[in-house]
Amino acid sequence: MPLIAIVVAALAIGFEQLIQWKYGPLGIVALVLLTVGIKARSAKIGGVGAALLVLLLAQSG
């Protein structure tokens, strides 16, 4: 079980670094808002985070 937790944590950190490298600090803010919104079950906060990520993805493509 601890091995699975370590692998999941490593994947999460890797994903966060990828977002920060590609989209900068605003990407991290959007990811944090989305994560907090999901954990808090707040549709408004999660929606803002998701919208920011979509805007960043649309802008870079």
pLDDT the model gives residue 61: 60
What are all long-range contacts of 5-10, with beta carbons under 8 Å and residues at least 24 apart? none
Tell me: pLDDT of 60 over 70.
no
pLDDT the model gives residue 47: 92
* 1-59 tens-digit pLDDT: 688 888 888 888 888 788 778 778 888 888 888 888 988 998 999 999 889 888 888 87
pLDDT the model gives residue 24: 82
pLDDT the model gives residue 4: 86
Q: Please give the Cα distance from 25 to 34 (Å, whole number).
A: 14
Phi-psi sector, 55: left (phi>0), alpha (psi -120 to 50), beta: alpha
Q: What predicted TM-score, i.e. pTM, was given to this entire model?
A: 0.69
